[in-house]
């Protein structure tokens, strides 16, 4: 039943969802960018080839990527409580969200960086760039458009995970869908939450694509 209380609840849930998604997104990138960069530069054709590092990090990333999110979330409950002091609510969901999304983001970043023309990197090396300078003045800026598209995809994935978290007390739109749509058979509320989620995904996607296109100097 869509009364004022319900509308207020939906409003709060939207904010909770955005809060979870955006904070997780920022933290996932803070961890995922270094992961992606390390995977890229330590690969065989990277600027600092290092097989052991590349292999070990690759395996860790793959392990975390293959654990289904819901299972990871439950498995991590004690860790979550230790970190944020609670096992319920949006803030607590951020922990498993980041653990799950950061490896995913790492792979996205790695793939964006691998699209860069090796010749450009070689030119930078020939000018005496240090590896660090190549990372932040060549790799990341040259991959920027592709990284933004990757971010649009990542944020959609994180939003999907956050909705799942709602089922086990994570709050946000996922919780509304579970509590009203699932347990109380309120189809109308269910539908509304779905529409809201779809709209949010679309907005993130569009903004990402448009920004990437606008920033890409190869397209002018």
Partner 1 sequence: MIELKHLSKVYTNGQTKVEAIRDINLTIEDGDIFGIIGLSGAGKSTLIRCINFLERPTEGQVIFDGVDLGTITHRELLKKRQSMSMIFQSFNLLSQRTALGNICYPLEISGVDKKEARERARELLKVVGLADKEKSYPVQLSGGQQQRIAIARALATNPKVLLCDEATSALDPNTTSSILELLKEINRSMGVTIIVITHEMKVIEQICNKVAVIDNSRIVEEGPVTEVFTAPKSQIAKQLILPTNQGVPEAEGFRCLRLVFDGTSAFEPIISGLSRSCDTNVNILGANTRNIDGVAYGQMLIQLPEDEAVTARIKEYLDQKNVKYKEEGLNVG
Window of 6-14, 79-87, 141-149, 152-160 that interacts with partner 1 by CB under 8 A: 141-149
Contact pick of 68, 141, 184, 210 for partner 1 (by CB under 8 A): 141
Spatial CA neighbour of 40 closest among 156, 135, 164, 172: 135
Spatial CA neighbour of 42 closest among 32, 31, 53: 53
CB of 146 to partner 1, least distance (A): 11
Window of 18-26, 68-76, 134-142, 156-164 that interacts with partner 1 by CB under 8 A: 134-142
Q: Verify binding: residue 51, partner 1, rule CB under 8 A.
A: no
The answer to whether 194 and 12 are in contact (CB under 8 A) is no
Window of 98-106, 142-150, 165-173, 205-213 that interacts with partner 1 by CB under 8 A: 142-150
Q: Verify binding: residue 211, partner 1, rule CB under 8 A.
A: no
Q: Verify binding: residue 112, partner 1, rule CB under 8 A.
A: no
CB of 120 to partner 1, least distance (A): 5
Q: Verify binding: residue 139, partner 1, rule CB under 8 A.
A: no
Q: State both tokens at 164.
A: 């799942």
Q: Verify binding: residue 5, partner 1, rule CB under 8 A.
A: no
Number of residues that bind partner 1 (CB under 8 A): 25
> How far, rounded to the nearest angstrom, does the alpha carbon of residue 33 sit from its chain's CA centroid?
11
Closer Cβ to partner 1, 142 or 186, answer by number? 142
Q: Verify binding: residue 138, partner 1, rule CB under 8 A.
A: yes
Closer Cβ to partner 1, 146 or 178, answer by number? 146
Window of 48-56, 63-71, 139-147, 204-212 that interacts with partner 1 by CB under 8 A: 139-147
Q: Verify binding: residue 110, partner 1, rule CB under 8 A.
A: no
Spatial CA neighbour of 155 closest among 68, 36, 62, 26: 26
Applying CB under 8 A, the residues found at the interface with partner 1 are 117, 119-120, 122-130, 133, 137-138, 141-142, 144-145, 215-220
């Amino acid at each position: 039943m869509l009364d004022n209380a319900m509308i207020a609840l939906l409003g709060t849930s939207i904010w909770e969802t955005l809060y979870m998604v955006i904070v997780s997104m920022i933290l996932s990138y803070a961890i995922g960018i270094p992961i992606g960069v390390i995977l890229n530069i330590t690969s065989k054709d990277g600027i600092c080839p290092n097989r052991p590092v590349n292999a070990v990090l690759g395996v860790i990333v793959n392990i975390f990527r293959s654990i289904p999110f819901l299972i990871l979330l439950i498995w991590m409950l004690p860790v979550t409580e230790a970190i944020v002091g609670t096992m319920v609510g949006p803030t607590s969901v951020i922990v498993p969200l980041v653990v799950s999304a950061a490896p995913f983001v790492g792979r996205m970043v790695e793939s964006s960086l691998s699209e860069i023309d090796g010749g450009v990197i070689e030119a930078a090396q020939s000018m005496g760039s240090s590896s660090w300078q190549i990372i932040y003045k060549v790799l990341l800026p040259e991959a920027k458009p592709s990284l933004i598209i990757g971010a649009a995809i990542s944020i959609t994935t994180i939003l999907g995970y956050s909705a799942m978290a709602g089922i086990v007390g994570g709050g946000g739109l996922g919780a509304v869908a579970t509590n009203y749509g699932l347990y109380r058979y309120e189809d109308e509320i269910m539908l509304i939450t779905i529409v809201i989620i779809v709209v949010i995904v679309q907005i993130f996607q569009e903004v990402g694509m448009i920004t990437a296109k606008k920033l890409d100097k190869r397209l002018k």
